[in-house]
Structure 1
Amino acid sequence: MFAPKNVCPVPFDQQPLNEYLALKKSCFFAWSILSLNKYINTVLSIFVLLLTVIMPIVWILSYNKMTLWYVLSYSILSVDLIFVLLFTRLYLGWSYIVKRLLSATVFYEESGWYDGQIWIKTADILTKDRLIGLYQINPYITRIKYSLFFCIFFFLLEGIILYLI
Structure 2
Amino acid sequence: MMESSVSVCPVPSEQQPINEYQELKNSWFFRWATLDEGSYWRKMAWIWGWSWLLAGPVAAASFPPQKAVGQFMLCGGAIASLFMILALLRLYLGWCYVRDRLSNPTVFYEESGWYDGQCWDKPPEILTRDRLIVTYQVQPILQRLNKTFALLALIFGLGSLIWVFL
Q: Smaller-chain TM-score range?
A: 0.7 to 0.9
Task: Tell me, yes or no, if the aligned pair for 1:81 and 1:155 is still in contact at 8 Å.
Answer: no
Give ranges in structure 1 of 5+ residues lacking alignment: none
Partner of 1:13: 14
Task: Tell me, yes or no, if the aligned pair for 2:33 and 2:145 is still in contact at 8 Å.
Answer: yes
> Hey, what's the Cα distance between the residues in 2 that align with 1:164 and 1:106?
54
Partner of 1:121: 122
What TM-score does the superposition give when structure 2 sets the normalisation length? 0.84
- Secondary structure of the 2:130 match is helix
- Secondary structure of the 2:29 match is helix
What TM-score does the superposition give when structure 1 sets the normalisation length? 0.84
Q: 1:8 to 1:106 in 2, by over 3 A?
A: same
Residue 21 (structure 1) shift: 1.1
Counting matched residue pairs gives: 162
Task: Tell me, yes or no, if the aligned pair for 2:51 and 2:80 is still in contact at 8 Å.
Answer: yes
Task: Tell me, yes or no, if the aligned pair for 1:77 and 1:159 is still in contact at 8 Å.
Answer: no
Q: 1:14 to 1:57 in 2, by over 3 A?
A: same
Q: 1:10 to 1:74 in 2, by over 3 A?
A: same
Task: Tell me, yes or no, if the aligned pair for 1:11 and 1:110 is still in contact at 8 Å.
Answer: yes
Task: Tell me, yes or no, if the aligned pair for 2:44 and 2:84 is still in contact at 8 Å.
Answer: no
Partner of 2:97: 96
Mapped pair 1:36 → 2:59: no
Partner of 1:85: 86
CA RMSD of aligned residues (A): 2.4
Q: Over residues 74-113 of structure 1, what are the superposed CA-to-partner deviations in whole Å (9 max), with x where a residue is unaligned?
A: 1101022222222222111101101111111101111222
Which runs of 4 or more aligned residues in structure 1 lie more than 4 Å from their structure 2 counterparts after TM superposition? 3-6
Residue 156 (structure 1) shift: 4.2
Task: Tell me, yes or no, if the aligned pair for 1:84 and 1:152 is still in contact at 8 Å.
Answer: no
Q: 136-145 or 47-56: which moved more? A: 47-56
Matches within 5 A, 1:13-162: 13-51=14-52, 53-59=54-60, 61-62=61-62, 64=64, 67-159=68-160, 161-162=162-163
